[in-house]
Amino acid sequence: LAPSTQPWRPPGEPQAPFSLPAPRWPVECEVIQETTEHIEWVPPKPEPFCPPMGLKQALYTIGEEQGTVVYHSSPVLQGSCFTRARVGGAPGPLSSPAARLEGPQDTTLLFESRFESGNLQKAIKVGSYEYVLMLRPDLYTAKHTQWFYFRVQNTRQEPLYHFTIANMAKPKSLYGQGLQPLLYSQRDAQSRGIGWRRVGTDVQYYRGSAGEPPMFRLSWTVRFPHDNDTCFFAACYPYTYSDLQRYLRALAADPARSRYCTVQELCRSLAGNTVYLLTITSPGGMAGKRVVVTSARVHPGESGSSWAMKGFLDFLLSTHADAQLLRRLFIFKVVPMLNPDGVVVGNSRCSLAGRDPNRAYGMALPGSFPGVWHMRAMVQRVLAEREVVLYCDFHGHSRKNNVFMYGCDAGGDGTGTRLRQRVFPLMLSKNAPDKFSFSSCKYQVQKSKEGTGRVSMWRLGVSHSYTLEVAFSGSTLGGRSSHFSVEDLESLGCLLCDTLLDFCDPAPAKLQQCLVEVDVLLQRQMGREAGSGGSWSDVSPSEFES
């Protein structure tokens, strides 16, 4: 699990040929042979939230006795922990988890989820066009059912289908506030160039029948666009480990971009998948350059963070004048996918250790959490030589709209330090007024978050350490009330770069203006009169956020 021993190649030297080993899966997982890829598409106009349906109470228990199991794919886990992995997953012939059609008149949907990032464990047909679905918990756990991504075939265009996912884990969800599932039609992609789109009427999120721990249900109705189509449903725009590898291969093959970007192996995951580290800076002198560290996908079910990371890399590696300036000023250390194993198998939150790796930064366990352990060790090595001006870990959020940040304010610091902690998010809100909510940002360092990347890097000495949270849904700002598109998510990376230039502008005017503005906002928030002055040193973070 040691980092790559290959010598570091300074940007500007030729890149070695970039190999793309196939993803490695736990040997318990069956994997179909077909490759699943989707086109990128931006809808011609924003997709509005659907009207919230209000609260609903489940009046009955959903079980197999109420219908017919038409799909059941559950890895037979040998013991309670991960043991070994191989390319292609389980050896031997595949089972047949889907029901067989009885003839051309049989309208039963054919389900499949045994592909990269897929998640659907069971489908029960409870009516002619009604299905109850069960998600697979994160491997080697019994929890964290949130991410879904599965295929359906044998569709009919005319009927109204009703789907209910019966074992969602979280008591609150943006599905109760207008979020809709995503649908992808292969026929529309091939004939009309249309990709993922928001679908679903009567979208409801509610508590299921009594039981412990309580389960929650997501239900929606939908009409498919074509007869006999192949369609996919997903919780958010999928971005797989193979998608990242294809991106990195194109990058390495580009003689212009590869001049200032080096792709290395930070470490190997438990399954043996590579955790990639990108170093981006202009060729030439490194003296005096400060460092910016970014990462994404420590939580595999938060795929929107990968699209934001892709936008960040696209801009940073572009010919734009601001991108060129950023490369001259800084060295960027980027880990675009911290938890590739979780992404490969379709987990929501955990790695193959069966634990949340974003609570493991404080543990000296490279054998259990190699990605985050080597990430922290890399930042420690950088800090021994240079200043790290910013650390930002990209995430997704399932319960709050818009984009916002978590920072670090433990109290006890001087007024200037505490105000400056809030300046970067304020600047980002000015650059992205229709996406980023400054009022949703939080800075309290809770005990339960000590093991996160944000707090761990702050404890190491990175004074501006943040989590960037991107809603699964979309924005309610700037007159919007609509879902984020892939284009919206990618634009966040560009906006983050803009904000970095503002934040590090040698002319102090922008920084001073924002410090004054933050002070005024806090005075208003705490009920003080504007211009009353006073110190913030004795105010606890919990008082700020109460």
Structure tokens at 392: 């930002």
Minimal CA–CA distance to 392: which of 415, 369, 425, 361? Answer: 425
Q: Which residue has the tokens 């924005």?
A: 475
In one letter, which amino acid is 253? Answer: A
- Residue 531 exposed, middle or buried by CB count within 10 Å (0-12, 13-18, 19+): exposed
Q: Where are the beta strands (DSSP E) in 2-47?
A: 24-26
CB–CB of 148/116 below 8 Å? no
**From CA 252, how far away is CA 441, in angstroms rounded?**
37
Helix/strand/coil for 163: strand
Sheet holding 149-153, edge to edge: 110-112, 149-153, 231-234, 182-185, 197-198
Residue type, 165: I
Name the burial class of residue 501, with classes exposed (0-12), middle (13-18) and buried (19+) by CB atoms within 10 angstroms of its CB: middle
Using DSSP's 3-state secondary structure scheme, residue 296 falls into strand
Residue at token pair 């005096």: 288
Is the separation of the CB atoms in 200 and 50 below 8 Å?
yes
Of 329, 335, 344, 341, the closest CA to residue 313 belongs to: 335
Q: For residue 217, what are the CA distances in angstroms to 166, 220, 399, 490?
A: 5, 10, 15, 30
Contact, 490 vs 311, CB < 8 A? yes
Encode 171-183: b = buried (16+ Cβ within 10 Å), e = exposed: eebbbbbbbbbbb
Residue 279 CB contacts under 8 Å (≥ 6 apart), including other chains: 8, 11, 261, 262, 264, 331, 332, 333, 334
What phi and psi values does residue 436 have, to the nearest 5 degrees?
-100, 130
Joined together, the tokens standing for residue 277 give 């580290």
Q: Is 65 a catalytic residue?
A: no
Reply yes or no: is the peptide bond before residue 213 cis, omega within 30 of 0.
yes
For 317-385, what is the HEC assignment? Answer: CCCCHHHHHHHHHEEEEEECCCCHHHHHHCCCCCCCCCCCHHHCCCCCCCCCCHHHHHHHHHHHHHHCC
Of the residues 469, 529, 543, 545, only one is catalytic, namely: 469
Cα distance between residue 529 and residue 527, in whole Å: 7
CA dist., res. 392 & res. 404, Å (int): 12
Residue whose structure tokens are 């069956």: 30
User: Which residues are catalytic, by number?
Assistant: 469
